[in-house]
Amino acid sequence: MSQQLVSKVDVELPTEPSLTARRPALRWVGLGVGLLVVLALPWYIYPPVAMDIAAWALFAISVDLLLGYTGLLSFGHAAFWGTSAYTTGLIATHVGLPFPVAVLGGAVAAMVLAVPTGYLAVRRTGIYFAMVTLAFAQMVYFIANQWRDVTGGENGLQGIPKNLGGMTDLINGDAFYFYYAAIPIILLGVLLAWRIVNSPFGRVLVAIRDNPARARALGYDVERYKIMVFVLSAGLAGLAGGVFSVSHGFASLQELVWTTSGKVVLVTVLGGIGTLWGGPVGAALVVLLEDRLASSGFNGIGIITGAIFVVIVLAFRHGIWGTARNGLGAWLRSRRRSREDV
């Protein structure tokens, strides 16, 4: 019965181009090129900056699962990013487990936090959903600030070790090697997001985004699907936040502040919502731009980045990646028509 319903959704409801691609060969070529770029990144960019790009890329992908594929705008995703950062740091510091295990523990903590948050938030839509998530994130920020014995308060949780058995000394001494030790975690998160999007579950999410009343009429429990994707999105954000904290060696209140949630939403929109790969593009743009401006000693970083972001949003209506994808699709269609005419 559920397979029949999924088939109905596929036929009756519009889906994203990435879900109905007619050229799987191009998709696999794109995945291969993306993997090569990820592996080559620390050779051309300062490795800590490359690691930041990777972490923020997965963070943006987690937000895109909600915003682009389910139509839910979260202004509180910093709660999951920051909760995982602190949990990862505590596990790595006090338990002494390898950092990949600590990161997974942080992701689990983020998912646990997402259950009650999502249960209450998904009962609202639009701006009300965004405000509920923001309120929960502010509660987490307040708790972290007051629980100084555990989180360090305003000083943060410092000295997070990069434990990895016999490779600990190597990755502690060189950020280049740590990048290659940590990037499999990021790629695992990206693969999970890609699998979610390109699955019957992902098609149901798009159906809920486009027409929740019709999806409900077809027999889907819309609230349950929203909670499920909310928890999965929190887990991906947790993976990213855990890697980020280990990379920097500390977790601070900055990871939980509301501006972090706003920044990741901006990154997602710049890259292109509902594209999945727009997140990495937006993350690369934002992180590199902030790094270049900070290195130049310029004090008004917010003014410059804000102006550039406004121009990009106005020039690229569907985001950078979304606009490029749509342009490529139009070019391929025009070539096919010209061949048919001949």
**Which pLDDT score, from 0 to 100, does residue 62 have?**
94
Measure Cα distances from 222 to 123, 212, 314 in Å. Answer: 10, 7, 33
The mean of the pLDDT values for the chain is 84
**Which pLDDT score, from 0 to 100, does residue 149 have?**
87
- The whole-angstrom separation of Cα 238 and Cα 88 is 9
Written as six digits, the tokens of 217 are 């009429």
**Which pLDDT score, from 0 to 100, does residue 43 have?**
92
How many other CB atoms are there within 10 angstroms of residue 5's CB atom? 16
Torsion angle (degrees, nearest 10) of CA 201, 231, 50, 39:
-40
| Beta pairing partners, 250 | 158
Name the percent of the chain lying above pLDDT 90: 44
pLDDT, mean of residues 296-321:
73
Domain boundaries, the chain: 2-341
**Which pLDDT score, from 0 to 100, does residue 325 have?**
73
Measure Cα distances from 129 to 72, 90, 119, 210 in Å. Answer: 7, 31, 11, 17
- Tokens 């090697």 correspond to 177
Q: pLDDT tens digits, residue range 172-195? A: 778 889 999 999 999 999 999 999
At 124, the pLDDT band (50, 70, 90 cuts) reads confident
User: What is the three-class DSSP state of 257?
Assistant: coil
pLDDT, mean of residues 215-241:
93
Q: Shortest CA distance to 258 belongs to which of 81, 87, 41? A: 81
- The whole-angstrom separation of Cα 63 and Cα 269 is 10
Q: pLDDT tens digits, residue range 198-219? A: 899 999 999 999 988 898 998 8
Residue with the larger pLDDT of the pair 1 and 268: 268
pLDDT, mean of residues 2-9:
41
Residue with the larger pLDDT of the pair 78 and 5: 78
Residue 103 has pLDDT above 50, yes or no: yes
pLDDT, mean of residues 249-259:
90
**Which pLDDT score, from 0 to 100, does residue 20 have?**
42
Q: Which fold has domain 2-341?
A: ABC transporter involved in vitamin B12 uptake, BtuC (1.10.3470)
Name the percent of the chain lying above pLDDT 70: 87
